Structure 1
Amino acid sequence: MTHKIKNLNIGIIGVGTVGESVVKILEENREIIRARAGVNLVVKKGVVKNPNKPRGVNIPLSTDIDDIIYDPQIDVVVELMGGVDTAYIVAKKTLEHKKSLVTANKAMLAYHRYELQEIAGATPIGFEASVCGGIPIIKALKDGLSANHILGLKGILNGTSNYILTQMIQNNQDFHTALLKAQQLGYAEADPSLDINGGDAGHKLLILASLAYGIDAKPQDILIEGIESISTDDIEFANEFGYAIKLLGIAKKQNNEIELRVHPTMIAKDKMIAKIEGVMNGISVIGDRVGETLYYGAGAGGEATASAVISDLIEIARGKSSLMLGFERSPQINLKPKANICSRYYIRLAVDDKSGVLAQIASILTQNAISISTFLQKEIKQKNTAKILFSTHTTTEYAIKNAIDDLKKLDSILSEPYLIRIEDE
């Protein structure tokens, strides 16, 4: 007696690069996917903005989202449209109609993940593709490391910014030259804002923090800075003292407080995460039982992201359903105020090259209980101008920001002071 193989019927909202890859992989790897899922995964319909645009897939297309949400034959809605508000409405409608949801939308989840969890109840939501494309970090935190308290994590969560920094470090390029190269190669969009200002990495860190700690923070609640002001001087200082510069998303737990931050970071070159180059992503997770684990792989691109989407579809086909984020909001966990975060800092100053300036700077640092660890001074082509590059011992965000504000008031400081945090752990 043979059992008839059933179908899991899928509707895709947004048949762009990722959507096309989902359709193609489901077709080209049909047999192995069916063997793993136990059912046929069938894309019944897609929704697009422009039905006249050529697409490399052969599925029925519509311009009306309701054609998928209200179709009783569709079992799972795959949301690949991007954006926040409209995507959230689509996700809500999908779950309210008891259809499973798979999304790659980190921006929408950064704001609305807990609302969706409450609406969903037992209806499955898959979002592996929302963080680091082809790296199964969501499943690692939700399932593989579920016996552990997560003590901390740090990750290169954006491949575009990592490519730019790699170019700056390896080829001595300035930021704008490296960005242009990334755009020419298709690694950066025409408007690269979210990649370079830390916003994209911030969205992803918030999703990971919910899985690790049950904390419902929003982008505006956490420290987020980008890479757009990094100079070749900063790269030179980092090299001199054995650091690489990476845009890192960092989470740390101490007692019942979690600190969450995204910013350029100087990290020792011998750390594994410092060795991740180009457009690749990497995440280090420290569990109280397993110790440190490292996850590495392609963070973006049509096929890597589609691979993650399909992994969620297979989970749904197998009938696996659990609370979306692994557990509910934790009332015992608080977000550490930004001002209380502790770090070492690198600071770059352009100053008048005259006597007394160093004494002024030292006085301000002393007033804010900040001490210098390492120091470099460079003459520059502009007459009577010098660059001062130094790092501090551990201090607080509150103290360093006060010191920067005081330094900016000095007539001898010729441009905006710039800082990069140093991660020694």
Structure 2
Amino acid sequence: MPEASVPAVNEVVPGQWGPDRPIGVAVLGMGNVGSEVVRILREHADDLQARVGAPVTLRGVAVRTLDRDRGLPADLLTTDAEGLVARSDVDVVVEVIGGIDPARALILAALNAGKSVVTANKALLADYTGELAAAAERSRADLYFEAAVAGAIPVVRPLIQSLSGDRVNRVVGIVNGTTNFILSAMDETGADYGETLAEATRLGYAEADPTADVEGYDAAAKAAILASLAFHTRVTAADVFRQGISTITSEDLETASAVNCAVKLLAICERVPAGPGEPSPDEGGKERVSVRVYPALIPRKHPLATVSGAFNAVVVEAENAGRLMFYGQGAGGAPTASAVLGDLVMAARNKFFGGRAPGESVYAALPIAPIGDTPTRYHVNLKVEDRPGVLARVAGKFAEHGVSISTVRQEGHDDRARLVVVTHLATESALAETVAALADMESVTSVTSVLRLEGTEE
């Protein structure tokens, strides 16, 4: 059955906008980000017009209730988001509501009507990019989402455009400000996780329910988006291995400091070899994509180790461009609104000049590597009995499961004896089997922590 053609009224016709025909904008949501978007639109209207070529006019703002003063004329506010999106004088829809519903339905309605969409909704994009991109393609509308990853930091557009002629091999970053603030504060003050989370909540860095941040869900959604863009492969949040920071202790930070490392919640997206028994890429097989989020030790000399407080940073490693680092404020009303307005200007320019944003690119369709096959180095902390032969028996367990030891450090004595083992590269499954075997040893009191070690060449 042939696809229905898009009504002519929705087609982009260069020159149909100008001084007498502004580009109309609807904003869905007026929280921290939405309020800043509205402010910038109103305060910098002349600059935006000069950059776009036509006036950019706010047509309305959808809010939940009308029972408080928002500093806007009453005729700009509405609780009817669907009606606002459907208006014929709205050309670009800015969605900053967040969550899946009703944002998904509203964005699809806008795209199906040929209206361009700018969104900061990482949760929605992590699971529904394919559906949204297909709707944009059918109606030849734009879908922009720079603000969905790392706030004000421009990383989405470089992956889509600046590096489109290169091969990206790895993307690794700190993409959640709440967890980075907590880990930085624990490192600096020696306070435990609970104390630092409470302080982060008091200062407004953590939500009343911090689960999405501290358990890694927010970072996993962003990792899915980054991996999809970097490797031309559709990756969803369900494909991302995820661990949060709620089990990190002050002792973990002390141990990291002793080996000149910091602990950071990292989002890691990289190309990895074909699976066991599969042909290599040279033999016609496919390499795979590994996407994971977890707290890890990184050497203090690594550029990501210096990222403190609520800041974000993303390092992109490309075959020809080499290593690129993007750093800045990853959240907050004004920084995120800056990214939204950048997308809005691009969408408005495309309306005025007749261009289009790049569509979704998933031609590579690489398989997702299971976490069990992913090689990483590990930092294993054990409490052991302080008696002869324990070290040799512990080392033997690592060897039995094919995990090579890089260094071993013993601390304390008697009932406080502790072994700190750093491995060479080993798969997650081999390490898990090793840890299970260690826990069953009579001479091992407990396996107190297992942290991955990233940012080294070994």
**TM-score higher than 0.5:** yes
> What is the CA-CA distance between 1:373 and the residue it aligns to?
2.2
Aligned to 1:204: 222
The equivalent residue for 2:399 is 366
Q: Distance in 1 between matches of 2:443 and 2:69?
A: 59
Deviations 1:59-84 (A, max 9, x none): 62222221212212211111111112
Secondary structure at 2:161 match in 1: helix
Equivalent in the alignment of 1:135: 153
Matched, 1:70 2:86: yes
Matching residue's letter, 2:194: H
Q: Which residue of 1 aligns with 2:212?
A: 194
The verdict on how the C-alpha distance between 1:362 and 1:111 changes in structure 2, with shifts beyond 3 A counting, is same
Q: How many residues align?
A: 419
Letter in 1 for 2:231: Y
Secondary structure of 2:295 counterpart: strand
Q: 2-side partners of 1:352 and 1:218: how far apart?
A: 45
Q: Is the 8 A contact 1:5 1:38 kept in 2?
A: no
Instruction: Name the counterpart of 2:54.
Output: 39
Q: Distance in 2 between matches of 1:315 and 1:239?
A: 45
For structure 1, the residue ranges without an aligned partner over 5 or more in a row are none
After superposing the two structures, state which structure 1 stretch, 276-285 or 385-394, moved more: 385-394
* Counterpart Cα distance in 2 of 1:177 and 1:404: 29
1:293 is the counterpart of 2:311: no
Correspondence 1:265 to 2:296: yes
The equivalent residue for 1:96 is 112
Seen in structure 2, the aligned counterparts of structure 1 residues 263 and 278 have a Cα distance that, compared at 3 Å, is same
CA 113–197 in structure 1, closer or farther in 2 if over 3 Å, else same: same
Contact 2:85 2:109 (C-alpha < 8 Å) held by counterparts: yes
Question: Could you list the per-position Cα deviations for residues 85-118 of structure 1 after superposition, in whole angstroms to 9, with x for gaps in the alignment?
Answer: 4322222222112211111000010000111111
Rounded to whole Å, the distance in 1 between the matches of 2:165 and 2:316 is: 13
Contact 1:20 1:56 (C-alpha < 8 Å) held by counterparts: no
Q: Which amino acid aligns with 2:82?
A: D
Contact 1:69/1:97 (<8 A) preserved: no
* Contact persistence 2:382–2:419 (CA under 8 A): yes
Stretch of structure 1 that moved more, 352-361 or 264-273: 352-361
- Alignment deviations for residues 390-414 of structure 1 (CA, whole Å, 9 cap, x no partner): 2111111110011122233345555
Give secondary structure in 2 for the equivalent of 1:101: strand
Match in the other structure for 2:13: none
Q: Out of 144, 157, 179, which is 2:162 matched to?
A: 144
Which residue of structure 2 aligns with residue 384 of structure 1? 415
Deviations 1:303-350 (A, max 9, x none): 01111111111001111413333x23423x222221111011011234
1:335 matched to 2:368? The reply is: yes
State the shift of 1:417 in Å.
4.3
Matches within 5 A, 1:5-404: 6-58=21-73, 60-121=76-137, 122-254=140-272, 256-319=287-350, 320-325=355-360, 327-331=361-365, 333-352=366-385, 357-379=390-412, 384-404=415-435
Q: 1:377 to 1:284 in 2, by over 3 A?
A: same
Query: Aligned partners of 1:87, 1:324: CA distance in 2, in Å?
Result: 20
Change (3 A) 1:22 1:349: same
Distance across 2 between alignment mates of 1:358 and 1:176? 34
Q: 2:166 is paired with a residue of what secondary structure? A: coil
Provide the residue aligned with 2:14 in structure 1: none
Partners of 1:51 and 1:408 in 2: CA distance:
59
SS in 2 for 1:136: coil
How far is 1:39 from its partner?
Answer: 2.0
Q: Is the 2:252–2:449 contact (alpha carbons within 8 Å) kept by the matching residues of 1?
A: no
**Contact 1:99–1:123 (8 Å) recurs in 2:** yes
SS in 2 for 1:334: coil
CA RMSD after TM alignment: 2.1
Q: Which ranges of structure 2 fall in alignment gaps of 5 or more residues?
A: 1-17, 273-280, 282-286
Output the CA distance in 1 between the equivalents of 2:357 and 2:47: 25
Change in 2 beyond 3 A, CA 1:181/1:56: farther
CA distance in 1, matches of 2:193, 2:397: 30
User: Partners in 1 of 2:70 and 2:419 — Cα distance?
Assistant: 54
Structure 1 length normalisation: TM-score?
Answer: 0.93
Change in CA separation of 1:219 and 1:351 when aligned onto 2, cut-off 3 Å:
farther
Shift of 1:354: 5.6
- Distance in 2, Cα, partners of 1:28 & 1:317: 17
C-alpha distance in 2 between matches for 1:8 and 1:360: 72
Q: What is the TM-score of this pair, normalised by structure 2? A: 0.86
Q: Larger deviation: 249-258 or 278-287?
A: 249-258
SS across alignment from 2:99: coil
Identity between Structure 1 and Structure 2 (%)? 35
Alpha-carbon distance in structure 2 between the residues aligned to 1:223 and 1:359: 33
Structure-2 separation of matches of 1:182 and 1:328: 38
Deviations 1:331-372 (A, max 9, x none): 3x2222211110110112344556665454333222111233
Deviations 1:202-252 (A, max 9, x none): 111111111111211222222111111112222122222221211111112
Is the 2:375–2:427 Cα contact (8 Å) retained in structure 1?
Answer: yes
CA contact (8 A) 1:285 1:293 kept: yes
Q: Does structure 1 retain, via aligned residues, the 8 Å contact 2:376–2:428?
A: yes
Write the letter of the residue equivalent to 1:114.
Answer: G
